Amino acid sequence: MIKFITKRILIAIPTLLIIIAFSFSMMRVAPGGPFTNERALPPEIEKNINAAYNLDKPVYEQFYIYMKNITRGDFGPSFKYKDFSVKELILNGLPVSVTLGLSAIIISLFLGSLLGIIAAINRNTIFDYSVMGVSLVGICVPSFVMAPLLSLFFSLYMGILPTSGWNNGNILNLILPITALSLPQIAIISRMMRASTIEVLNSNFIRTAKSKGLNESYIIRKHVIRASILPIVEYLAPASAGLMTGSIIIEQIFGLPGIGRYFVVGALQRDYTLVSGVLILYASLLILLILITDIVRAILDPRVKI
């Protein structure tokens, strides 16, 4: 196990380097710059600003300086958020995004798996058709459509939940954004879980367990759930990384101070360091979650060889 983890970490290092180099290059290839305005700056002022942020140096030298700073945990200053470093902005927005994403993925995993298992056990019944029909709607309707509808109904019409805002993590302010994030994931997980459970129920080892006279509820608890959840475990890694690093649209709709808005502002205003910092965070989290997924999958399925 230690050898496997070490190997994956060693593979992750060049992967992160490639991602950093790619984001570094693409932001500079895009037209314009972080200090390009409709009103041109005087040449001497623009020269001093570029020198202060090392933008007057060749690209390869800028990349070397950036990489050297990253090794010290310094992602550089933000070009647009004055008096803030990228590290400070990420640390400010990360708790919001992680709270939303982690809550959404836990709710989605529980409800999606539960609905999928029940639908598979009662397949070709009214309940099965209802769950699959509703899940299809949940997949087809994007979150940026569902979020305003939820806000319109529960906030404006019924007046029971706040329309937007963080309010220091008040539970009432979290209900709508977490619901908007969870619904598509519940739909996807329920369909995946149903298909996986049906496949497991038709497998030979389940038939053997039934032939031995084991109770059906015992078989489902001890064997079916453990085997059918494997595809869900693999799906959770990229889904969790995406949700926990911030859903850009949801955070914008509900006015939440998460990482998503920093990525949008940074990309639009050519804030090189801010965009690169968010991408590095996302890539690191994704690699970590994939590693955890592989380990959990090996624990759940003895047939998997690490």
What are the structural domain ranges in the chain?
1-32, 92-267+288-300
**Mean pLDDT of all residues in 148-163:** 87
- Which of 294, 300, 266 lies closest to 7, judged by CA? 294
Q: Is the pLDDT of residue 4 over 70?
A: yes
Q: Other C-beta atoms within 10 Å of 64: how many?
A: 12
User: Residue 242: CB partners within 8 Å, gap ≥ 6?
Assistant: 101, 282
pLDDT score, position 43: 72
Rounded distance between C-alpha atoms, residue 159 and residue 168, angstroms: 20
The whole-angstrom separation of Cα 287 and Cα 200 is 29
Q: Is the CB of residue 257 less than 8 Å from the CB of residue 138?
A: no
Residue with tokens 């710059």: 33
Q: Tell the CATH topology of 92-267+288-300.
A: MetI-like fold (1.10.3720)
Q: How many CA atoms lie within 13 A of 161 on its CB side?
A: 23
Residue 306 confidence class, pLDDT cut points 50, 70, 90:
low
Measured distance CA(71)–CA(91) in Å, rounded: 17
**pLDDT of the residue at 246:** 54
**pLDDT tens digits along 258-275:** 887 777 777 777 788 888
84-93 pLDDT, tens per residue?
Answer: 888 888 888 8
Rounded mean pLDDT of the chain? 82
Q: How far apart are CA 230 and CA 189, in angstroms?
A: 12
Helix (H, G, I), strand (E, B) or coil at 301: coil
Q: How far is CA 140 from CA 99, 117, 196, in A?
A: 25, 22, 21
Of 50-54, 164-168, 210-214, 282-286, the range with the lowest mean pLDDT is: 50-54
The type of residue at 58 is P
- % of the chain at pLDDT higher than 90: 7
pLDDT confidence of residue 36:
65
pLDDT at residue 295, rounded to an integer: 78
Locus of tokens 């979150």: 143
Tokens of 196: 């996986």
| Contact predicate 250/259, CB 8 Å | no
pLDDT digits (tens, 9 = 90+) for 232-242: 888 887 787 77
Average pLDDT on 219-237 reads 83
- The pLDDT of residue 34 is 66
Q: Ramachandran region of residue 15, left (φ > 0), alpha (ψ -120 to 50) or beta?
A: alpha
What confidence score (pLDDT) does residue 222 get?
82
Per-residue pLDDT tens digits for 284-296 = 888 888 888 877 7
- Total-model pTM: 0.79
The answer on pLDDT for 44 being more than 60 is yes
Q: Is the pLDDT of residue 156 over 60?
A: yes
Asked whether the beta carbons of 148 and 253 are under 8 A apart, the reply is yes
